[in-house]
Structure formats: C-alpha cells, structure tokens
Amino acid sequence: MIFATAKPSILPMKVKLGMAIHTISDNTEAQNNSAQVVSLLDLNIQELQRTLKLAGLLQTSLEVESILNFFLDSTREAVTFNSAHYVNESHQFKLDVGKEERHTAIYRLRIAGEALGEMRFTRNKRFSNDEMELLENQIYHLVYPLRNALLYQAALKSAHIDGLTGINNRAALDLAIQREVELARRQHNPLSLLILDVDHFKSINDTYGHSTGDYVLRNLATCVKETLRSCDMLFRYGGEEFAMILSGTDIEGAHLVAERVRTTIEQHAFEFNGKNISVTASIGIAVLGSRDTVTRLFNKADAALYQAKSNGRNCVHTFAQAKR
C-alpha cells in the first residue's frame, strides 16, 4: 500500500522539455536522441493537456460526487485501474467505482493538516513507480476543489439542520415538500403530510423552565425519528411543531404511522432533573389531492391539526374527517 499526503501544485510534471531540447544535433546519435525527445515532448504535451482539462473540470462543480467523477475519468486516461474508492468519514461520504482487486495504491488526502479523506485505487497487477507518480500528479489537482466542495456541502447541510434537535429544519422542509410533490405527481404515487404539535408546551416551559422545554423537544425529535420508517422524513416546522413527509403513503397508511407516533410519545418517559414530565401530541394529516399545491397541502394538514386540538388533543385527525 502507498500512503501519500497531497500538496498543492499547479503543474506537478517534472520539467523535461527544456533538458530534452538541448540534446538535439545533426549527428546520428543525436538523431536517435531526437526521436526520443519528440516522443517525450508528445507525452508531456498530452499530460499538460490532460492536466489543464482536469483543472478546468474540477472548477465547474461544488458537488463532491461530480468532482470525484471528473477526477476519475481523467485519471483513467493516464493510469489503468480496476476500481477506485473514496471515503470521508467526517463528512459521511463514500464513493465506490468498479470491482476491487488485490493490488492497491492508497492516498490519504490532507491540506495544511486538514484531512480530506482517503482515495484508493486497485487493479490485478502492481502499480509501477511511474504510474504512482501520475496518480499523485492527478491527486494534487483534486485536493483544493475537493476541499471546497466538502466545505460547501457541509455549509448546505448545516443550513438545513435545526440547531436544537439535530433534525431537518423549516428550510429543508420547504425544499423537500416541493420535490416530493413533483415526484408524486410524475409517478402517480400517494403522498401524505403530517403536522405534529406538542400539547400544552407553553405550560411545560412555564412550569419547569425553558431548559426543560428544550430537553422535551430534543427527546421528542429522537423518539419520533426512531418510530418513523426509514423512508419517512422528519422536520422541525416551528417552535413545538414538527412535520413529517410520508412518500408513497395513502390516507390509511398515514393514519397508522401517525397513531404509532402519537402513542410512542404518550408512553415515552420524559425525565429531566429527576422530574417526570407528561408529554402528548396532536397530529393533523393531509393527503395530496389532484389539485393541491404545496400551500394547499400544508393548509389541509394545518386544518386537520386544529381539529385534533379542538377534539381534546392527544389524538390524530385527517383533513378528510375535518370536512365531514
């Protein structure tokens, strides 16, 4: 295995052109050298062209996967490999291309002490020193665009995460619901929206203090997330309101999920500073109709939630029921 620390480099190629040009003369030996010089010149021009092309491509995107694919396409032109694997545990990103073979070249990517992950190439025969040098030259051009993309993606993720509960926030909800509505229409699949409100949350804050209220919200978010299916999406919609998008779920399925969430919250032990806190929630359900916009879908779920609270709280209500 080969471990390398990537460092910034604009043109990592060794300067062989000038040295080669000076060997040209009119004698026979010089003519043979001249043929080698032309071959070397062509090789370096090709490498220069590939390097410039890669450098340009890497500046066109801030998507980590796109940047890595540009890099791998360019690298494959320089060095043959059977598989490539990139992993960055801190950013929870992984990319695997091809079938892994026995011989491996591994590069740990770092800039100024900052770890950018690990790149691994494999194939069924050993990598030569020249090939490893080519791989390193390619990687030198990857590190800065890769770091920029990782930082950008982390900033985007941070902007869509609720600081208190660690789940998706309102901004993430606005993007997700628009996308899911469009997808449901294209695929003719059902889509349900649930809005959950913590019952008497103000009295929890007034009785136990805001730190207790924060504890309740954090633990409720964890409790609901663990109760939902892996395909469901959970968001903190407002102060003590949460929204759930259930893709591919009709009204009966949505009601089952909502009841399971409500029951789990009611039975969960919320204990803070030695005090047991009774927590319940009301849930409103709306199913996407043929004429519904995103706004109308929200309004339907909100109307159902209002009806659930009017019915005494700690219950589930659907918009269809609210109309009757």
Catalytic residues: 240
Contact 175, 183 (CB under 8 A): no
Q: Are strands 103-111 and 114-123 parallel, antiparallel or unpaired?
A: antiparallel
For residue 178, report the phi and psi dihedrals to the nearest 5 degrees.
-65, -45
For residue 205, report the phi and psi dihedrals to the nearest 5 degrees.
-65, -45
Closest CA to 138 of 109, 102, 169: 109
151: helix, strand or coil: helix
Contact 54, 74 (CB under 8 A): yes
Strand partners, 233: 245
Count of residues for the chain?
324
Distance CA 252, CA 315 (A): 15
Distance CA 253, CA 271 (A): 31
Element (H, E) at 73: helix 64-78
User: Is the alpha carbon torsion for 297, 301, 304, 306 positive or negative?
Assistant: negative
Distance CA 285, CA 304 (A): 6
- Residue 82 corresponds to which tokens in the numbers above? 């059977």
Distance CA 321, CA 284 (A): 10
- Residue 241 corresponds to which tokens in the numbers above? 């309101």
